[in-house]
Amino acid sequence: MASALRPVLRPTHLASLPTSTSTTTYICQSCRHARLLRRPKRPYTFTQLVTLSDGSAFTIRTTSPVPVYRSTRDTRNSPLWNPTSKELLNVEDDEAGRLAGFRARFGTGFDTAKEARKEAEMESDNISNTPASPTAANAEAAKEPTFEDEQNMFEEDDMNLLDLISSFGQENTQQETQSPQPKKGGKK
Amino acid sequence: MAESHLSLRLARTWRSFVKPSICNRCLQTRRTLASQASAPQGQRDAELEEASSLGGAPDAGSGSPVRDFDPLKVPRSRKRQLVPSRYQFRSPKYYRGPLHPHQPPPPSDPASREFVPGPFSTPRLEQTYHNIIAPDFMTMCYQHTPPGFRAPQKGARLRPWIGDSPYFRNRPLRGPRGGDVLRLLRKPITFRNIPMIERVTVHSFVKGALSGGSGYIHVAGMALQAITNHRVMTHEARTNEANWGIIKGKTVSMTVDLKGEDMYHFLGKLINVVLPRIKDWNGVRATTGDNSGNLTFGLDPESVATFPEIETNYDAYPGKMIPGLHITIHTTATCDKDARLLLQQVGIPFYGKVVD
């Protein structure tokens, strides 16, 4: 009776109060007097043995039910993680010499000359490495390449090519004056 | 009911009639000078007990309640086992405020509803960190100072306002030179403050969910859960962004915060198996970082699909819905340089120009 005449001081809706209109589930999600203590949801995990490509293995907890995981590509055989390993560099193995033969027949002179020089260097390295260490050290010190040697990318064939270019239009005179062997350029 | 009320009231009035308004004890203590003089010295206080309670038990006869007390009698006489609800503690389902008598136990208590058991294993990366990486890091960062050396004192980073102006009094201190940001201090590395990986945040912004429905969210959530062993937390857009097609209140991204065991398992898997399989990957850009030791890098959907969990069950995920990830590694290092050093030891390669 009296309370009906009194003005309602309590507002029906406040911005700060949580509204129950947004949730459709029955669970009391956020009300002031009772906060639901949710049980954390955790996916089931298995123990998995991860075997890396070099045979090392370790266990991890994972959601996948596969007991053993064998990896083919991992840190043990990836060149990014093994920058110094010789096996991981993509060197073509040409035991039968078929690739070299192909290159000799169809390849440019650039390719063949480089290959030949590399092989020669490898052989000389092998020879120099076999004797005792002091001599090997001496040999290496003697063989220490200079900056120009390293930076000079031109091979002999390129030299010939460059000569050819530089001597364009002077062929007749050169053939007359020069001996038949090709001129070694003064550029080297 | 009414009868008992009546009788109570009657008893109260009766007592007030019989007894005076001053209680017995007050009467005794209230002494005038005259009464004190006249009171005999040897009179004992009526409330004082003669025997000390410390002396020994009062005579415990056969019929005394002390002898008869047998706490095991009731449970032994019970014919069948007590129902579990009588002896098992059950945490309340709701937290009803600090003043409620029935309080839930803390989440570390196994009886709590929020309890998460674990750890169940010692991850390989964690062992590696404690056995190899941490000692190596300390050795690498060791800086020798001769005995008796004292580092020169540096001025305070927050400078006072010096001048004649009356407004300088009680003014808050001035910020550092060259900007407002007060960077973290790098202290010399000792055995106490070797940087370690604190937590890993895996974040995925699901672009397809903006236009393609909620399927993208579900797939991304399941993929992330499979990868990280953790339930994801979804995030809604806070503002409208017309250029990106983001609508306020729509779920656009999800994160997983990994700590401890799960974090180490995730990192071990990521570094050993997933990262080496990315095609044409140079490593993480060395310019990453937020200047306080937290580094971020990203994975595209193709490399996310190479996680062993997704790879074994690849058919379960719609191929175009697999999300890309951003992985933030929070370390306790206070500068990016230390964090990068730590992660390099852990096995994450970096490339490019280093900015410190």
Count of structural domains, chain A: 2
Quickly list H helices, chain B.
Answer: 2-18, 24-29, 33-38, 65-68, 73-77, 84-87, 124-128, 134-140, 215-228, 260-269, 301-304, 308-312, 336-346
A35, B94: Cβ pair inside 8 Å? yes
**For residue A136, what pLDDT is reported?**
44
Residue range B4-49, pLDDT digits in tens: 455 555 555 555 444 444 445 544 545 445 445 444 555 667 778 7
Domain membership flag for residue A127: yes
User: Do residues B123 and A47 touch, judged by C-beta distance below 8 A?
Assistant: no
Stretch A38-46: mean pLDDT, rounded? Answer: 95
Residue among A28, A33, A37 whose CB faces B104 most closely: A37
Mutate which of B102, B109, B269 to disrupt the A interface (most A C-beta within 10 Å)?
A: B269
Stretch B264-279: mean pLDDT, rounded? Answer: 96
Q: Which residues of A touch B120 (CB under 8 A)?
A: 61
Residue A26: pLDDT band (50, 70, 90) is: low
Domain membership flag for residue B246: yes
Reply yes or no on whether the pLDDT at B2 is more than 60: no
In whole angstroms, give the CA distance from residue B13 to residue B7: 10
Residue of B nearest to A81 (CA): B349
Q: Does B126 touch chain A (CB under 8 A)?
A: no
Percent of chain B with pLDDT strictly greater than 70: 85
Enter the pTM of the model: 0.66
Domain membership flag for residue B120: no
In whole angstroms, give the CA distance from residue A171 to residue A179: 13
Q: Which residues of A touch B124 (CB under 8 A)?
A: 58-60
- Check residues B38 and A59 and name the one with the higher pLDDT: A59
Range of the domain at A59: 44-75
Domain membership flag for residue B67: no
- Average pLDDT of chain A? 68
Distances, alpha carbon B88 to alpha carbons B82, B108, B115, B326, in Å: 10, 18, 16, 44
Among A41-55, B69-83, B110-124, B214-228, where is mean pLDDT lowest?
B69-83
**For residue A7, what pLDDT is reported?**
57
- Average pLDDT of chain B? 87
Domain membership flag for residue A106: yes
B308, A59: Cβ pair inside 8 Å? no
Domain membership flag for residue A28: no
Q: Does B229 touch chain A (CB under 8 A)?
A: yes
B265, A61: Cβ pair inside 8 Å? yes
Residue B214: pLDDT band (50, 70, 90) is: very high
In whole angstroms, give the CA distance from residue A188 to residue A149: 10
Residue A134: pLDDT band (50, 70, 90) is: very low
Residue B300: pLDDT band (50, 70, 90) is: very high
Residue of A nearest to B226 (CA): A63
In whole angstroms, give the CA distance from residue B200 to residue B264: 9
Stretch B168-193: mean pLDDT, rounded? Answer: 90
Nearest to B277 by CA among A108, A47, A76: A76
Range of the domain at B262: 197-351
Residue B256: pLDDT band (50, 70, 90) is: very high
Are residues A139 and A101 part of one domain? Answer: yes
Residue A23: pLDDT band (50, 70, 90) is: very low
Residue range B335-351, pLDDT digits in tens: 999 999 999 999 999 99
Count of structural domains, chain B: 1
A116 burial level (CB within 10 Å; 0-12, 13-18, 19+): middle
Distances, alpha carbon A185 to alpha carbons A150, A156, A163, A166, B266, in Å: 19, 10, 7, 10, 62
Are residues A103 and A71 part of one domain? Answer: no
CA–CA min distance B276, chain A (Å): 5
A62, B92: Cβ pair inside 8 Å? no
Residue A28: pLDDT band (50, 70, 90) is: low
Q: What is the CATH number of the domain that holds B215?
A: 3.30.1440.10
CA–CA min distance A38, chain B (Å): 7
In whole angstroms, give the CA distance from residue B15 to residue B13: 5
Residue A178: pLDDT band (50, 70, 90) is: very low
Look at the block and give the residue holding tokens 């200047």. B291
**For residue A177, what pLDDT is reported?**
45
**For residue B247, what pLDDT is reported?**
93
Percent of chain B with pLDDT strictly greater than 90: 67
The helix/strand/coil state of B347 is: coil
